[in-house]
Structure 1
């Protein structure tokens, strides 16, 4: 999901802060692993994890590192082209990375809140998404042990955003038609920039 602001600069959620050259280089390298809008894997539904082994734990560790280096606060396995139901997130910079395997939404509160969301797979795009403020999620940890997460506010939003990825749902699918239209314009301009065409 959206980037974290690690600097003293004012930034909106989803926009990269001004970075020192080393951090910028690490972020650029990490983002090279993240699938971008248009990649069919982002619209694919991930399969439940059935094996809890060193390979899964290595995947989770790698996801945490890519999320950190890309200045994200959440990352789903599908964003890296892996079709298994795994997500990682860390809302507070000093907190440990949390991994949820096979997460399921057990309950969501009636109170809804609209807020802007960005996504590592839709660089430069911010759209307003309405989501429940409070959720309870049942999942497994990297050893297959059951977990229950009760989350609110930003943590609840991040978990829901990443769970959407595991079902092939993007923030563009959850926003208004006008915001989606504006986001598509930004994505097309970025694509032309990457291709070296005039915008």
Structure 2
């Protein structure tokens, strides 16, 4: 499938909540392939349909060291741990800049598969970080909103200088 253009920060569509996926069909499967190709071309490990300007609750992950693609349709966090972890995050919509974000260390996520089956999954480590990051995006929360105002302003200046 072809690589699609990625919305770039500060596109306002990156802050809009995504609508639930209701059709589990060949169009959804094609969108997953487009997301995967686009994410790989951008050297990302996670991407959502809203990154392509498509306001649907769909995310694709391909974590380093894993030999699998993870697809989450209509994901939502059911539970998160009180224990937290810090990790360096970035975005395919804001390439070239990263910053440390603190998030819960473990989460339980409910989602649907490509054929619409309901599933739940518990995650920790990088998978937990990625799920929270992408679900935030689906909820209209761009990752830099998790930073303090000062860190966010510095990061935006760094991004603008390189663009």
- TM-score with structure 1 setting the length: 0.77
Deviation of 1:101 after TM superposition, in Å, equals: 0.4
Deviation sequence 1:169-194 (CA, Å, 0-9, x none) = 11210012221111111122134xxx
1:27-70 CA deviation, whole Å, 9 max, x = no partner? xx95x611110112101110001111000011011111211222
Change (3 A) 1:154 1:94: closer
Q: Pick the structure with greater CA Rg.
A: 1
**Which segments of structure 1 move beyond 4 Å, counting only runs of 4 or more?**
none
What corresponds to 1:84 in structure 2?
56
RMSD, aligned CA: 1.5
**Partner SS for 1:107:** strand
Match of 1:135 in 2: 107
Separation (CA, whole Å) in 2 of partners of 1:146 and 1:49: 13
CA contact (8 A) 1:47 1:83 kept: yes
- The separation in 2 between residues aligned to 1:68 and 1:185, in whole angstroms, is 26
**Among 135, 139, 143, which residue is 1:163 paired with?**
135
Q: Distance in 1 between matches of 2:57 and 2:33?
A: 15
Map 1:166-185 onto structure 2 (within 5 A): 166-185=138-157
Residue 92 of structure 1 and its aligned partner are, at CA, apart by 3.1
In the TM superposition, 1:33-112 aligns within 5 A as 33-112=5-84
For structure 1, the 5+ residue unaligned runs are 1-28, 192-199
> Does the 8 Å contact 1:128/1:179 carry over to 2?
no
2:159 to 187, 195, 198: 187
SS state at 2:71 partner: strand
Q: How far apart are residue 115 of structure 1 and its match?
A: 2.0
The range that moved more, 134-143 or 88-97, is 88-97
Partner of 2:97: 125
Q: How much does 1:93 deviate?
A: 4.2
Aligned length: 162
Show structure 2 runs of 5+ residues with no match. none
CA contact (8 A) 1:127 1:171 kept: no
